[in-house]
Structure 1
Amino acid sequence: MNRRRFVAALGTTASVGVAGCLGTSGGASAPTDGFETTDADGDVNPVAFGNVSLPVSEDELNRGARQDGIPAIVDPEFGSDWSDVDATLDDVEPVVGVELGGEARAYPLAVLNWHEIVNDAFDRPILVTYCPLCGSAVVAERVVAGDTRTFGVSGYLWHSDLVMYDRESDSLWSQVLATAIRGPLTGTELDLLPATTTSWGEWRASHPDTSVLLPPPLSDTVTGRVTRDYDRDPYRGYDASSRIGIGYNDDVDDRLHPKTRVLGVAHGGEAVAYPLSAVSETPLVTDDVGGLPVVVAATTGGTLVAYDRRVDGSALSFDRESGTDVLAAGGSRWNLLTGRATDGPHAGTTLTRANDRSPMFWFAWAEFFPDTAIYVRA
């Protein structure tokens, strides 16, 4: 597939370089090998994390709400739909979809816009997060140094992104980086898990046995049983505006409109942003990011996905069946949304996600990956 990429000279003050966000996750464990964070007196020492010096200075954190003013969900409840809920879940409602160990669950943005964090468990304790200001969904394991952690909303923002805290250590965590940026666990990274930001209709069609998160008061929160108007979007109009966060971003990469929806792939010291608008103009994009062979596409419903094209060590060449969400490669047909082969020699094989984080607004991706290239269709 013909494509052109470019990297423009930075016009912003880079806070986190590509190396700081890529790396291989060492798992959610206590920092070691140069990541020790306290001295003999128990004082926190600076930690090198990419181009960021951790811990982040308090001056870089901006207060958006009081701690737990946005109450994280700590005891989620699920159902097959919202038929017994005093709110509407239409097929077009965006959801964060997670599939682990053969079990699928959907987390509607109608809930996440109000609560931002869900402490959940599949075959392991997991953390489902969403920052409405950055449009970023990040899912990770919430086991740190062998202990299960409970996460809440600190009320702070860093680069307009959600700053979480864990109740056990009171460390502060960057949502996009999935890394502790202040406190005893500074420098610790969470293990990221694959997730999809799509519509309830698309997710349910591809995962017919899925369950869906029920809003409070059916699900309990860190502050007890609360309720919100889940039929009302508290950020209505924000995704179409040029406004960024709540006013703390001084420098913005203006190569794209700040709210352009992009899927970012970072690997081998390179990062590429794939805008939904550009990807939607072509059946699929075949690319290479830092030595990682990828295929990127948008479903007919507008969901951006990216996969590692390698199967059994060999990179496949994909085509797309016209007007469908079906890919073809290696003698098999593949479901675009799930990445799973449905027939042929690869039946049952699932492609590995090429992106660690779900699509987000351009300004957020560029803030954390300032050296990113941008895919542009030739």
Structure 2
Amino acid sequence: MDRRDYLARLAGVAGVGLAGCVTLPGSRVTGDDLPSVRNATTSNTSSPRPDGRLPRRGEVTLPVSRREMRSPLTRDHIPAIVDPVFGDDWDGLSLPDDSRAESTTLPGDAPVIGLTDGDRARAYPLRILDWHEIVNDTFGGPIAVTYCVLCGSSVVVDRVVGGSTTTFGVSGYLWRSDLVLYDRATESLWSQLLATAINGPLTGTELTIRPSSLTTWGAWSAEHPETDVLLPPPQSNTIRGREATFDYFIPKYRRDSPSVIGFGTDSNGLHPRSLVLGVAHGDAARAYPFETIRREGVVDDDVGGLPVVVTVAPGNTLVAYERRVERQTLHFSADGPSRLSAGATRWQRSTGAGVSGPQATHDLTRANDHPPMFWLGWSGFYPETSVYGEDAN
């Protein structure tokens, strides 16, 4: 089976077969309960461009009809967080009566989305985002921290649209197996990975993506000892109120477990839940599998004319930076587990910040828009992507 056939079959299964992965306890949606998408209508008032053509986002013609989306859940069935509360750690939080956890301490290996604003830092544990998928916050301005369980994709966006701050919720739709948000002001539908309105009055509007990291609580808090961390409900408020329905103190998912029944690896040896870092530049896109980069250590590469370096940073997270510094293309090597070096200059792997040497005043520029995600997510939006190392397979 070639990659395109594999992805086409995978998209069909993921849109329906994986819907149960995002249902909540006591309200699992079965195939017979799925709302009909054949009879759904497209609510969109966007106008064509001056040349008479519909707006586009990459290879996508907008608006995207709701007929192209899957609707396994009702709106706000997954309750977004709208009034987040933060602390130094989870110590001291009360366990639910039916919790199977032994401690409220957030383990060092717990995945978090990390975000910085100047000298401030915040961490958003996936143990919360697994259940809520969206956190509406204010940190260096109004933002939305989003996470799609199916694609393993985390995207942080500014939530100022047309000069006004909006609140995002979970629409209940999936498009290309990815989370679809809605804004409460206009009820437009937004693609998480495109960070673009794909249906509704704001169709074609793009959100500004904020740089973020997908790492572990241990690595993040070691690098940012003064960081705040998101506290779970009932401390934080949700779109449905301050309810403590879920057990946030044990992981909801095993992140290394297969979630697509009937699909193994494709011709590249990649499973839908294989972790990859994607880099797109111009018309080119390339996926870097975690296992390959961990084995090779530091990879110098080129994506559509953009020289990049890809490596694994503390916290077992993939990072990619441009290799051009002061108009010079550098060749990188490892300098211990937490640094990169090129010539006599050293940089931090996790942030790209200069450490020492003649070019240390120039921090490395990120080469990727999104943190690492599952192969299912990246390949769904970049079906023509190349895969680093596939020629050697």
TM over 0.5: yes
Which residue number corresponds to residue 326 of structure 2?
312
SS in structure 1 at match of 2:121: strand
Indicate if the aligned counterparts of 2:82 and 2:237 stay in contact, CA closer than 8 A: yes
> CA separation of 1:225/1:36 partners in 2, compared to 1, >3 Å: closer, same or farther?
closer
Counterpart of 2:216 (choices 176, 192, 199) is 199
How big is each residue's C-alpha offset from its partner over 1:54-84, in whole Å with a ceiling of 9 and x where there is no partner? 2111212212222111111111111111113
**Is 1:283–2:297 an aligned residue pair?**
yes
* Structure holding more helix per residue: 2
Counterpart of 1:337 (choices 342, 347, 350) is 350
How big is each residue's C-alpha offset from its partner over 1:62-109, in whole Å with a ceiling of 9 and x where there is no partner? 122221111111111111111132333100000011112232111100
Which residue number corresponds to residue 229 of structure 1?
247
- Asked which structure has the greater RCO (Cα within 8 Å, sep 6+), the reply is 1
Counterpart of 2:316 (choices 302, 316, 320) is 302
How big is each residue's C-alpha offset from its partner over 1:83-138, in whole Å with a ceiling of 9 and x where there is no partner? 13233310000001111223211110001101111111222211110001110001
- Counterparts of 1:311 and 1:102 in 2: how far apart (Å)? 24
TM-score by length of 2: 0.80
Counterpart of 1:364 (choices 377, 384, 389) is 377
- Counterparts of 1:9 and 1:112 in 2: how far apart (Å)? 30
For residues 18-97 of structure 1, the aligned pairs below 5 Å read 37-38=46-47, 46-86=54-94, 87-97=104-114
Partner amino acid for 1:277?
E
> CA separation of 1:75/1:243 partners in 2, compared to 1, >3 Å: closer, same or farther?
same
SS in structure 1 at match of 2:73: coil
Partner amino acid for 2:237?
D
Count of residue pairs the alignment pairs up: 341
> CA separation of 1:55/1:209 partners in 2, compared to 1, >3 Å: closer, same or farther?
same
Indicate if the aligned counterparts of 1:151 and 1:167 stay in contact, CA closer than 8 A: yes
> CA separation of 1:312/1:122 partners in 2, compared to 1, >3 Å: closer, same or farther?
farther
Give the alignment's Cα RMSD to 1 decimal: 2.6
**Is 1:376–2:389 an aligned residue pair?**
yes
Shift in Å, 1:165: 0.4
Moved more, 337-346 or 183-192: 337-346
- Counterparts of 1:111 and 1:367 in 2: how far apart (Å)? 25
Shift in Å, 1:237: 4.2
For residues 118-197 of structure 1, the aligned pairs below 5 Å read 118-197=135-214
SS in structure 2 at match of 1:338: coil
- Counterparts of 1:376 and 1:150 in 2: how far apart (Å)? 41
Indicate if the aligned counterparts of 2:310 and 2:319 stay in contact, CA closer than 8 A: yes
Shift in Å, 1:376: 0.7
Which residue number corresponds to residue 27 of structure 1?
none
Indicate if the aligned counterparts of 1:36 and 1:47 stay in contact, CA closer than 8 A: no
SS in structure 2 at match of 1:180: strand
Shift in Å, 1:363: 1.6
Shift in Å, 1:345: 3.2
- Counterparts of 1:158 and 1:254 in 2: how far apart (Å)? 24
Which residue number corresponds to residue 285 of structure 2?
271
> CA separation of 1:278/1:366 partners in 2, compared to 1, >3 Å: closer, same or farther?
same
SS in structure 2 at match of 1:280: helix
Counterpart of 1:10 (choices 4, 9, 27) is 4
Indicate if the aligned counterparts of 1:330 and 1:346 stay in contact, CA closer than 8 A: no
Indicate if the aligned counterparts of 1:206 and 1:338 stay in contact, CA closer than 8 A: no
How big is each residue's C-alpha offset from its partner over 1:165-211, in whole Å with a ceiling of 9 and x where there is no partner? 01111000011111111100111111111111111001111112211
